[in-house]
Amino acid sequence: MAVLSRWLRHGAEAVAALLLAALFVTFVLQVFSRYVLVNPIGWTVELCLTLWVWIVFWGNAFIVREKDHVTFDMLYLAAGDRLRRVLALISALAIIIALAVSLLPTWDYIDFLRIKRSPTLGIPMRDVFSIYMLFLVAVMVAYAYRVYRVIRYGAPADRHHLNGMDE
């Protein structure tokens, strides 16, 4: 079980690294084609945007840990063990319920987009956005697992978002 979960984690990280590397290369290609070859490639912008959407949702589904999120954690960290456990459970359950409620309506919308194709590459938008469904399900499963962990072992008291390079 432990081996399997480690392999899954490494696999998920590799996919994320690959997506980011592809975004980077595509971008460099775009700059190069426009300014060096003076013959801009049309599809690079669209591919970059698709990769960006995938990085965000693949990332949050599989490689972003609870402590990586942007979070207001002052009250949570100041709370005692027992209260923190309750707070963590409320958070997790609220997220699970909200995502579960949105599951079918969201799929209706995304599935409807099969008739719409992206402007230059002609990929059905349903396929571009399908990652969001995977994200919804994965996050629900992850928070269900968190509910189990919190009940069993208590709520962790890590500070959040220390590795965020966004600010």
Partner 1 sequence: MSLHFSLGLLTLFLLAAIGTPIGYGIITAAVVYLAVGGLDIGLAGEQLLYGLYDSFVLLAVPLFITAANIMNAGTISDRLLQFCVVVVGRFRGGLGHVNVVASLIFSGMSGSAVADAAGIGKLITEMMTRENHYSRGYAAAITAASATIGPIIPPSIPMVLYALVSNASIGYLFLGGILPGLVMGVVLMAMNAYLAGRRGFVLEQPVPLKALPRHTARAFPALLMPAILLYGIYGGVTTPTEAAAVAAAYALLLAGLFYRSLSLAGLYRILVDSARASAAVGLVIGGALILNYMVVAENIPNRLAEAMVGVEVSPLVFLLGGNVLLLLLGCVLDATTIILVIIPLFLPTCRELGIDLVHFGVVAVVNCMIGLITPPYGILLFVINAVTGTPLAEMIREIWAFLGVLLVALLVMILWPDLVLFLPRLLGYRG
If one asks whether residue 60 binds partner 1 (CB under 8 A), the answer comes out as: yes
d(CA 150, CA 153): 5
Using an 8 Å Cβ cutoff, are 78 and 155 in contact?
A: no
Alpha-carbon distances, residue 160 vs 64, 67, 73, 96 (angstroms) = 12, 5, 7, 20
Site string for partner 1, 32-51 (x = CB under 8 A): ---x---------x--xxx-
Of the residues 33, 41, 56, 117, which one makes contact with partner 1 according to CB under 8 A: 56
d(CA 13, CA 62): 8
Q: How far is the CB of 94 from partner 1 (least distance, A)?
A: 5
φ/ψ (deg, to 5) at 124: -60, 135
Nearer to partner 1, 102 or 148 (CB): 102
Site string for partner 1, 6-35 (x = CB under 8 A): -------x--xx-xxx-xx--xx-xx---x
If one asks whether residue 137 binds partner 1 (CB under 8 A), the answer comes out as: no
Alpha-carbon distances, residue 45 vs 28, 34, 147, 151 (angstroms) = 11, 12, 40, 46
Site string for partner 1, 87-126 (x = CB under 8 A): xx-xx--xx-xxx-xx--xxxxxx----------------
Q: How far is the CB of 152 from partner 1 (least distance, A)?
A: 19
Q: Which residues of 83-97 are buried (b: 16+ CB within 10 A; e: fewer)?
A: ebbeebeebbeebbe
Q: How far is the CB of 132 from partner 1 (least distance, A)?
A: 6
Using an 8 Å Cβ cutoff, are 157 and 84 in contact?
A: yes
Which residues make beta-bridge pairs with 117? 124
Residues that bind partner 1 (CB under 8 A): 13, 16-17, 19-21, 23-24, 27-28, 30-31, 35, 45, 48-50, 52-53, 55-60, 63-66, 68-77, 87-88, 90-91, 94-95, 97-99, 101-102, 105-110, 128-129, 132, 136, 139, 159-167
